[in-house]
Amino acid sequence: MVHEAMVLEYSGRHLAMIEMAAMTKMLLYISLISCIFFPWGMAMDTGDNHALVVGLVSYVAKLAVGGIALAIFETSIAKMRVFRVPEFLGSAMLFGLLGVVFLYVTQGL
């Protein structure tokens, strides 16, 4: 929660705008992650009302699952020691490299 210290000097409308921007950014990130990695329930036919309702319900369900996962993740690492940060960075780099390898393998290069 280091980023919370930056908004201590704001109040009123300015604080509301900063909080709204943070919430919009989080909504965008969770939406992108859920729609890219879990594309199930997306409405392909926009003329069909049933498909739109199913798409909206699945989108809200994916946002709820993403919010719950984010809350669990943030509460589990709230007291993470600074010395464990390189381990997490190393695993993130490993996953990034693994993604690049999978991209090249699936494209047949």
At 1 the pLDDT is 52
* pLDDT grade for 3, boundaries at 50, 70 and 90: low
Please name the residue that has the structure tokens 């809350």: 71
pLDDT tens-digit readout, 4-45:
677 778 888 988 998 899 899 999 999 999 988 888 887 777
Cα separation of 100 and 6, whole Å?
35
- The reported pLDDT for the residue numbered 88 is 83
